[in-house]
């Protein structure tokens, strides 16, 4: 059985065994997000572009979704992934029709991956893919978690100046086998787009490998629409 099938089986088992709670507020609920949280959700932010690459996000970086993203990253709450994916999948639905599309998660450095045990962006990409594949005509989208590597630990970007961020990310991402990406339509998947610096570095590495970078999908976009994000 492939890793993805094992993961899917684990997800389905988890759904059966887990108490029915809202992933955003942890209250008992038959659906997630619960009606209270759904009523609180603002509309998706207007897509912005980073170096000409459109960024589609499900939400601004605001409660209750921002809290769920923090729990996913820092408290091992992988149970929030299906709910976040249900919010994200409709935002990028038109992408699901692109033939041969690969979803490429923003990679973690190997040390961070070992520490956390999972890459939250890869979990989100797989869950979005599963949401899209509920419609058979979209079954050709794949997740490609190993085509992009993070070769340097880049620390916490938000605490740095713009030039420090760009220096920290310069050469931090690598495509180990570029020939696999030539002409391939790809969408980068991230949990939160903040300054756009990580998006820039990742899309530059993908374009250098001659991939066709279609856009970025993120659960949250923390910046207002602009093409001058740092």
> Where does this chain bind Zn ion (CB under 5 A)?
22, 24-25, 34, 37
What DSSP letter does each residue of 144-189 carry, written as one string?
-TTSSEE-S----GGGS-HHHHHHHHTT-EE-S-GGGGTT-EEEEE
Q: How far is the CB of 36 from Zn ion (least distance, A)?
A: 5
> At residue 140, what are phi and psi to the nearest 5 degrees?
-95, 0
Q: Which is nearer to Zn ion, 37 or 213 (CB)?
A: 37
Q: Which is nearer to Zn ion, 36 or 210 (CB)?
A: 36
Q: How far is the CB of 88 from Zn ion (least distance, A)?
A: 17
Q: How far is the CB of 28 from Zn ion (least distance, A)?
A: 10
Q: How far is the CB of 96 from Zn ion (least distance, A)?
A: 27
Q: How far is the CB of 71 from Zn ion (least distance, A)?
A: 13
* Rounded CA separation 200/43 (Å): 25
* Rounded CA separation 208/175 (Å): 9
Q: Which two tokens stand for residue 19?
A: 């108490």
CB 33 within 8 A of CB 83: yes
Bridging pattern class, strands 173-174 and 149-150: antiparallel
* Rounded CA separation 219/10 (Å): 23
């Amino acid at each position: 059985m492939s890793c993805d099938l094992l993961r899917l089986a684990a997800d389905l088992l988890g759904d059966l065994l887990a108490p029915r709670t809202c992933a955003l507020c942890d209250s008992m609920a038959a659906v997630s997000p619960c009606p209270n949280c759904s009523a609180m959700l603002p509309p998706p932010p207007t897509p912005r572009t980073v170096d000409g690459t459109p960024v589609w996000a499900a939400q601004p970086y605001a409660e209750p979704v921002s809290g769920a993203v923090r729990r996913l990253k820092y408290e091992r709450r992988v149970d929030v992934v299906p709910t976040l994916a249900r919010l994200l999948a409709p935002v990028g639905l038109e992408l699901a029709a692109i033939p041969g599309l690969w979803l490429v998660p923003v990679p973690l450095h190997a040390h961070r991956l070992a520490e956390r045990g999972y890459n939250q962006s890869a979990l989100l990409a797989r869950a979005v893919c599963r949401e899209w594949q509920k419609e058979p005509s979209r079954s050709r989208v794949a997740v490609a978690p190993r085509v992009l590597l993070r070769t340097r630990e880049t620390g916490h970007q938000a605490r740095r100046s713009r030039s420090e961020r760009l220096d920290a990310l310069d050469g931090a991402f690598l495509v180990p086998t570029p020939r696999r990406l030539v002409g391939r339509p790809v969408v980068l998947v991230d949990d939160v787009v903040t300054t756009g610096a990580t998006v820039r570095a990742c899309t530059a590495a993908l374009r250098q490998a001659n991939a066709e970078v279609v856009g970025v999908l993120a659960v949250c976009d923390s910046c207002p629409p602009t093409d001058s994000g740092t």
